[in-house]
Structure 1
Amino acid sequence: MTDSELARNDGQQFDRLPATPADREVEGRASREEVVDWWQERFGVAPETFENVTFWEKGSGKIWAFNADLPSPVRVEGLGITVLRTRQEHWKPTTTGVKRFGREATANVIELEPAEAAAFAAGHDQQLDRWDGDWGYLIAAHELAGEREPIGVGLYLHGELRSRVPKGYQEELAVLE
């Protein structure tokens, strides 16, 4: 299929992501394979995690995950949860996506101390020089009831962890020492 024959993105409907890049009919649209590979490469989330999940795009690069199968396209306002923003230089996971799939992550997860977690959840940026992993988008997490719990998406650059927790998700956490 030539570029001129490619279909156009319709921001008024959900379209299922193609299985592979070779199946792509809309220029710039991510494929299911690319989305699953990205979660695995960036965060170590096993592909099996997404076995029963279908991926959809609505708008330009807003990827949604849905735990069921529907015919494509679908004209509804919402379908599952937003998990990823593509069609930009660096793909960005959403807070909702991290809260849903971040427990399975084995890479690029920064575990925060209670006071750091409280500041992060409230939307505050902070200096954290101890991180020695990749720069870029990280999953910020803290321990809750003996388990690692994702708080949201952080952007780590030059020793600073920038909270990317949207205002609607920001919360005040009690700091227990």
Structure 2
Amino acid sequence: MTDDEAGGTQNDGQRFDRLPTTAAERTVEGRASRREVLEYFGDRFGISPETFDDYTFWEKGAGKIWIYAGEASSPVEIEAIGMTCLRTRQEHWKPTTDFVQRFGRHASECVIELEPEAARRFVAGEDQELEWDGDWGYLVVAHELAGDLEPIGVGLYVHGELRSMVPKGRQRVL
């Protein structure tokens, strides 16, 4: 963190800072707290906060949240720690594909299951019109594989359309 003109602290985009436990402990304006991140995953996706008991959350840059299985001193100036899991400093928080593929199986809400052809189109990066009777917004997109429902990525559902959020470099034609 660096000092700002008002005497507070501001985000330092070149290092990782551990998220404060609560908003009351926040020293950087706009930084999410651990509690807010857990509430988001719980409220939006039904993922129990206990799922993350052995993980810490970090911010590097403005709103790029990382999850790490373990402890580390804060702040820390390294290139990466764990994996990115969430983008927060925008109107709607967005989980990452890596996060959904790793933790999406814990989700009980806002999970859309795709049939084989729709799943192929989604992984290829195609947007498609689909019926969905759940909430609009970011969803865990899943497909049955070997008898289990497996998360394959993040989708954005609006106005009857499922938009693929699979990053271009990870899209595949199957």
**Normalised by the shorter chain, which TM-score bucket?**
over 0.9
Q: Tell me which residue corresponds to 1:42.
A: 44
Q: How does 1:11-160 map to 2 (within 5 A)?
A: 11-129=13-131, 131-160=132-161
Which string of whole-angstrom CA distances, capped at 9 and with x for unpartnered residues, describes residues 103-151 of structure 1? 100000000000000000010000002x100001011100011111111
The answer to whether residue 166 in structure 2 is matched with residue 169 in structure 1 is: no
- Work out the CA distance in 2 between the residues paired with 1:5 and 1:112: 51
- Work out the CA distance in 2 between the residues paired with 1:41 and 1:91: 12
- Work out the CA distance in 2 between the residues paired with 1:109 and 1:6: 40
SS at match of 2:6: helix
SS at match of 1:141: strand
Q: Which runs of 5+ in 1 are unaligned?
A: none
The one-letter amino acid paired with 2:98 is T
- Work out the CA distance in 1 between the residues paired with 2:50 and 2:80: 24
- Work out the CA distance in 2 between the residues paired with 1:169 and 1:125: 15
The one-letter amino acid paired with 1:161 is L
- Work out the CA distance in 2 between the residues paired with 1:168 and 1:124: 14
Instruction: Give the CA deviation at 1:171.
Output: 1.6
Instruction: Give the CA deviation at 1:169.
Output: 1.7
Which string of whole-angstrom CA distances, capped at 9 and with x for unpartnered residues, describes residues 42-101 of structure 1? 000011100000000000000000001001001111110000000111000110111111
Number of residue pairs aligned between Structure 1 and Structure 2 = 170
Which string of whole-angstrom CA distances, capped at 9 and with x for unpartnered residues, describes residues 5-34 of structure 1? 331100000000000000000000000000
The one-letter amino acid paired with 1:44 is G
Q: Which runs of 5+ in 2 are unaligned?
A: none
Instruction: Give the CA deviation at 1:168.
Output: 1.7
Instruction: Give the CA deviation at 1:172.
Output: 2.5
Instruction: Give the CA deviation at 1:170.
Output: 1.1
TM-score with structure 2 length normalisation? 0.95
CA RMSD for the aligned pairs?
Answer: 1.0
The one-letter amino acid paired with 1:112 is L
- Work out the CA distance in 2 between the residues paired with 1:72 and 1:86: 20
SS at match of 1:124: coil
- Work out the CA distance in 1 between the residues paired with 2:7 and 2:26: 11
TM-score with structure 1 length normalisation? 0.94
- Work out the CA distance in 2 between the residues paired with 1:4 and 1:97: 36
- Work out the CA distance in 2 between the residues paired with 1:5 and 1:169: 43
